[in-house]
Amino acid sequence: MLNATTTTTSNAPEGIHLTCGMSGSHPLIFTIVPVVYGFNFVIGMVGNSMVVAVIYRYMKLKTVANVFVLNLAISDLTFLITLPMWAIFTATGYYWPFGSFLCKASAGLVIFNLYTSIFFLTALSIDRYLAIVHPVRSRRYRTAAYARISCLLVWLFAFVVSVPTALTRDVHNIDSETTVCGTLHMKDAVRQKNLLLAIGLMKSLLGFLVPFLIIITCYCLIGRALLSGRNIQKSARSREDEVLRMLAAAVLAFFLCWAPHQVFHFLQVLNQLRVLVDCSILEIIDTAMPFTICIAYFNSCVNPIVYGFVGHNFRRNLLRLLCCARRGLPGNHPSISSKMSALSYRASEALSLTTKSKTSSTNGK
């Protein structure tokens, strides 16, 4: 998404004039980024669809972890449907042909996915803490019903905090040369500047720092409990180990994917505070931002890979799903296969009878 960070307004009808020019406009970006978006879209749609299918068909929604993982996959799918539009937007040199509504909706879904992903990972971390450190006392609260209620609250809260981002995005004409979908920070719009600053700080705090402090705290408490070995049943530990490893891998993947983008996003916040105003620095930020966004978007297709490599139970059920799908193909349908076998058997029997009759007639002669 484009962020034209330093702008001046113009009352002329031809559009808005940029004091620092069209930052981050490089042919390399327009070539590589759309390809990465396309890769993320294909891998993410296939992988997360498999996660939904495996959990719904085999693993069911009887455990808290499965409920949260299913909602995390659905969150990624809702975001991934916007990637083709962002790929076209970047490939055409930041030209947005889809109108104002899709500009607002797509930008809102990007931030919506950020919040839902980190909130669901935080909820999973709290659940692992309760399951391992307080397995008995937390049993009455760690139910699928409570997990569904928690997911509903996460969806609602993430929607509320992502609405301001959608409202501040719109289609703008830049110097009558191109039409972009972005946020333009205007010097004479103090109220808009404060709103954008609040949105930026909220993205850094609620979308990254605060949840990670909660997650790290949960893991520290889990590690201390596992090292001491007190109040933890061995059977409970063996049941929860795989889920804990899978969650740890998912949290690490989220951090590695989103940390670079959050760093440059914080630099953009400093620009909004007028701490950074040099056009050369803004050029670096706007050039690096598309690549950090590519890395961040990769998180939506990395979770199914994490589940497949770390989760033995998920991998086993995924193989069951693939085997069932293979048997369901027209060439592998059980009834068709049985009919073909029967026909082959009858043909061989007829051939053997013909051969015997020819042999007997020859002997008779």
CATH at residue 302: 1.20.1070.10
**Pair 11, 50 in one domain:** yes
| φ, ψ at 24 (rounded to 5°) | 75, 15
CA–CA gap between residue 93 and residue 109 (Å, rounded): 22
Q: What is the pLDDT of residue 83?
A: 93
For residue 187, the model assigns a pLDDT of 56
What pLDDT was estimated at residue 277? 66
- If one counts every other C-beta atom within 10 angstroms of the C-beta of residue 327, the result is 11
All residue ranges of the chain with pLDDT < 50 are 1-16, 22, 235-236, 331-348, 350-351, 353-365
Question: Same domain, yes or no, for 100 and 241?
Answer: yes
Does residue 289 share a domain with residue 152? yes
Same domain, 258 and 341: no
DSSP conformation letters of 181-208: EEEEEETT-HHHHHHHHHHHHHHHIIII
Residue 158 near residue 74 (C-beta atoms within 8 A): no
Instruction: Count the domains in the chain.
Output: 2
Q: What is the pLDDT of residue 104?
A: 94
Same domain for 60 and 43: yes
Q: What pLDDT, on a 0 to 100 scale, did the predictor assign at position 230?
A: 52
d(CA 308, CA 302): 10
Please give the pLDDT value at position 248. Answer: 87
Query: Token pair of 117, please?
Result: 């992903």
Q: What is the pLDDT of residue 276?
A: 66
Residues 16 and 134 in one domain: yes
Same domain, 289 and 346: no
Q: What is the predicted pLDDT for the residue at 73?
A: 93
CA–CA gap between residue 100 and residue 104 (Å, rounded) = 6
Q: Are residues 280 and 350 in the same domain?
A: no
User: What pLDDT is recorded for position 337?
Assistant: 43
Q: Between the CA atoms of 57, 303, 102 and 201, what dihedral angle is there, to the nearest 10 degrees?
A: 130
**321 and 358 part of one domain:** no
CB atoms within 10 A of CB 130: 18
202 with 295, same domain?
Answer: yes
Print the domain residue range for 339: 330-364
Q: Which two tokens stand for residue 67?
A: 């409920």
The beta-carbon contacts of 131-139 under 8 Å, at least 24 apart in sequence, are 131/64, 131/236, 131/240, 132/222, 132/225, 132/226, 132/232, 132/236, 132/237, 132/240, 132/244, 133/221, 133/222, 133/225, 133/231, 133/232, 134/231, 135/232, 135/233, 135/236
Longest Cα–Cα distance in the chain: 113
Q: What is the pLDDT of residues 268-283, one digit of tens each?
A: 877 767 676 667 778 7
Residues 350, 314 share a domain: no
- 313 and 187: one domain? yes
Q: What integer pLDDT is reported at residue 232 of this predicted model? A: 52
